[in-house]
Structure 1
Amino acid sequence: MGRPLRADAQRNRDQLLAAAARVFAERGTDAPLDDIARRAGVGNATMYRHFPTRSDLLVAVYTDEVAGLCARAATLREQAGSPQEALHEWLRLFMDHVSTKRDLALAVTGESSALVAGWHRAMLEAASTLLEEAGRAGAVRADLDAADLLTLVKGITLAAADRAQAERLLALVNWQT
């Protein structure tokens, strides 16, 4: 790993990632990179210094999104009223992730399979921890597998016409005790 960035360079990188996440969410992953630099308040040269290609920027944005989702699992474990509530809330966040990051995820499929596998492992680990705690509390079926649960939630999210329908479909699934 390289040396840490100077404070101003780190700030520019963070602004670029935040702007890119917003622009990609609003306009898709083919949005002009110039718009991202402008929204971040930096010049194109600064953007290309940090992210030489669109793919580099997409990977960085998606990596940040996955890391944020996984970090929320730990926060929910500490803050939720019960393990069941923590799991359910995280699954709702996972639904949001799937529905809003679908184009972003598809845009980086050309990246190394190790990177994509790492993202999947991180999300599976977060879900597994929450599921295990809910299982110990007797709040979920004993035969429930985290990978199956994530596949189910992803399928519901992608098949539903909107968020409300996805919520209704998830409520129909008998995964709780």
Structure 2
Amino acid sequence: MKNSDENAGSTARPKRADAQRNKEALLDAAAAIFVTSGVEAPVRDIAAKAGVGTATIYRHFPTRADLIIAVYRHQVEACAEAGPALLASGATPYAALERWIGLFVDFLVTKHGLAAVLQPDNPGFDTLHAYFIDRLVPVCGRLLDAAADAGEIRSGIQAYELMRGIGNLCIGAGGDPRYDARRLVELLVAGLRNADGS
């Protein structure tokens, strides 16, 4: 028979797992709202999308900056984890690269609002930027290497350089309805293909 301490431990784990799932659902909801309404969207809208009360959001994230930073980190992790998953999915390496870049562009659209909360002179900005580079550049590099090894793209493309170029294409994407950053990113990615059209 289990003692009371063991019973307490077994009931605590599911609660922690539920709390983590709820927090991730909340971050997913916040990210979706930020894309459509910006980082200044009302907390009640985020709570409604996540199916929780506003108090739950404030319990996890006391300030809007806390929420935005958590969304940023959550999306970096999702983007980082997607790379290996796409390579293992059975898609060609080039198709995996294309899909991953689509996710990266989605991330950049959400990330744009971070500037409203963190200015470049804020130490938190540098920390997040370093985290972004450390997590995502190696993933992009692995996708590029796999596509190059398969003969689908030119070799020698640097992950940081490509990501920086994509980022520059996405600047101001939300400010001008005549500017379609996604289409330009698609053209850039198509340009990675080998010259023989493969």
Fold match (TM-score > 0.5): yes
SS of 1:42's equivalent in the other structure is coil
Once the two structures are superposed, residues 69-115 of structure 1 have per-residue CA deviations (whole angstroms, 9 ceiling, x without a partner) of 121111111124322222222223222332x3143343453425223
Give the residue type in structure 1 aligned to 2:164: T
Larger radius of gyration: 2
Return the alpha-carbon distance in structure 2 between the equivalents of residues 120 and 108 of structure 1: 20
Give the residue type in structure 1 aligned to 2:151: G
TM-score (norm 1): 0.80
What is the match of residue 133 of structure 1?
A: 146
**Given that residues 24 and 31 in structure 1 are in contact (C-alpha distance below 8 angstroms), is that contact kept between their aligned partners in structure 2?**
yes
**Given that residues 156 and 169 in structure 1 are in contact (C-alpha distance below 8 angstroms), is that contact kept between their aligned partners in structure 2?**
no
**Given that residues 73 and 90 in structure 1 are in contact (C-alpha distance below 8 angstroms), is that contact kept between their aligned partners in structure 2?**
yes
Please list, as runs of the form range in 1=range in 2, the aligned pairs for 1:69-148 lying within 5 A after superposition. 69-98=79-108, 100-107=109-116, 109=118, 110=122, 111-148=124-161
TM-score (norm 2): 0.73
- 1:171, distance to aligned residue in structure 2 (A): 5.4
Quickly say closer, same or farther: Cα 1:55–1:70, change in 2 above 3 A: same
What is the match of residue 26 of structure 1?
A: 36
**Given that residues 135 and 142 in structure 1 are in contact (C-alpha distance below 8 angstroms), is that contact kept between their aligned partners in structure 2?**
yes
How many residues get paired? 173
SS of 1:115's equivalent in the other structure is helix
SS of 2:171's equivalent in the other structure is helix
The percent identity for this pair of structures is 36
Quickly say closer, same or farther: Cα 1:36–1:169, change in 2 above 3 A: same
User: Could you say what the CA RMSD is over the residues aligned between the two structures, in angstroms?
Assistant: 2.7
Return the alpha-carbon distance in structure 1 between the equivalents of residues 99 and 29 of structure 2: 26
- Which stretches of structure 1, 4 residues or more, deviate above 6 A after TM superposition? none
